[in-house]
Amino acid sequence: MKIRRSVKRLSLLALVSGMVAIVSGCSGTDAAASSTVNWWTWDDKQAAAYKSCATDFEKANPGTTVKISQYAVEDYFTKLTASFVAGNGPDAFQNSVQYFQAYTAQHQLLAMDDLIAKNNFDLKKYSVGVDAWKYTDGKQYGLPLDWAASAIYYNADALAKAGYSKDDVDKLNWNPEDGGTFDKMVARLTIDKKGVRGDEPGFDKSQVATYGMGVMATGDFIGQTTWSSFASTLGWRQGDKPSWPTKFEYADPRFVKTLTYMRGLSDRGFAPNFGEFTSGSGKATVSTTDLIGSGKVAMATGGSWDASTFAKLPNVKVGIAPTVLGPDNKTRAVLSNSNGNNIWAGTKNPELAWKWVSYMGTEACQSVASATGSFFPSIPASMDASAKAMSGEGVDLAVFTDALKNGVLYPSVVYGGGAAIESAVKPLLEGYFSHARNDDVFPEMQQKTQEIFAKK
């Protein structure tokens, strides 16, 4: 998920003195313990999902109320920052690693180490995301809330008509020279308006009815659901360090070769051109689910959060396959990001905020909240419970659970200045995919990230 907006500095004021008494466990009956904990999120699905946890939490803690507020992602961080400045921020909130560095450096987040130790809270229960919320001071400022990855979604009927099986798409390999078996499948799945396939004589790339592959020409500087899983099989990683990098490796030959191939897919008519299914601003107006559902695209990479939506598409059976293998036909590598729960440093109820956040991070809560399949919980047992619940509804999440268990996932780099990087790099990527720029753009992209990181 792309999130943007700048933040302002907020001082940390006498936090512990504002602490109020609360009940512990389920036994509280003291009227003085009555209190409200406010929790914010940008995700409407998680807002709805965690209401069931809030109900259980309130029952276990009489006199306590959990107020969940959800705001559109376009406004979320602006509103969050404004609330910090005004001194009325939420007690706890969902955060993205893109804003972690800025918020922590500006003393807007509460370090959780003492609370973790005091309550013997086990961070080892989480499968992903713990280290993403450790700052340069070595302290833990957040608990993993969810995780996400990418996969290949495909129209099962289109695949069969092209002569391919589920086993074929599950074993696709790729290389930047000739594209491997992935390239052959994409060409075969592409059909022009006269019914000629992309691998047949007479194919007209200017009159495509169905693209074999979805949108790969993107201004997204992370590429989580586009080029990332391809470049990663070559050993490329975005940062020169996994945490707090000094630059993003956009000038690396492996990255350059990957994006050259991706632009070539569009040039050959096998994937949409840049902006074809977007507005002039580059903001997507047609979702990947809609493109596959309408038949405009036969196959696409997409996020794990789309799995349940794909399963509900009318008149289209959508299969889920793992991302491509690399040139060695063995390596698969999938970027996984993890949003987290933070506590605002200005909360008047740090103990209560911790109690709610830590409860959200239990198997009991995450198994209930994730039963809808709208997000993947960070606790393995809860993930298994979610996968089982979704299987009963016809949604097979095995591709994602297998990636989690088989070590295919690698964590998103922890960095600062995300909004500035997006503003600097996105226009350059758009220029590349629209052919306004060529390979000279990559060193410039890398240099801009280096300058931004140096300032942070």
Token pair belonging to 360: 């959200």
Query: For the whole model, what pTM was predicted?
Result: 0.84
Q: What is d(CA 232, CA 392) in angstroms, rounded to the nearest whole number?
A: 33
Over the chain (456 residues), the average pLDDT of each successive run of 10 is 34 28 32 73 93 96 96 94 95 92 93 97 92 93 93 98 98 98 98 98 98 93 94 97 94 98 98 80 68 96 90 93 97 93 96 97 93 85 87 87 89 87 95 96 98 90
301: CB partners within 8 A, 6+ apart:
150, 151, 152, 153, 214, 216, 225, 226, 229, 323
Q: Do strands 334-336 and 143-144 pair parallel, antiparallel, or not at all (unpaired)?
A: unpaired
Strand segments (E) across 204-359: 208-210, 299-303, 318-321, 334-336, 340-343
> Following DSSP, what letter does each residue of 129-145 receive, concatenated?
-SGGGB-TTS-B--EE-
Are 353 and 37 a contacting pair, CB within 8 Å?
yes
What does the pLDDT read at residue 10? 31
**Tokens, residue 167:** 């086993």
Walk me through the domains of the chain, giving residue ranges and CATH numbers.
16-147+337-407 (3.40.190.10), 150-336+417-455 (3.40.190.10)
For residue 404, the model assigns a pLDDT of 85
Tokens 């995919």, located at residue: 433
DSSP per-residue letters across 330-367 = S---EEEB--EEEEBTT-S-HHHHHHHHHHHTSHHHHH
Asked if 142 contacts 376 with a C-beta cutoff of 8 angstroms, the reply is: no
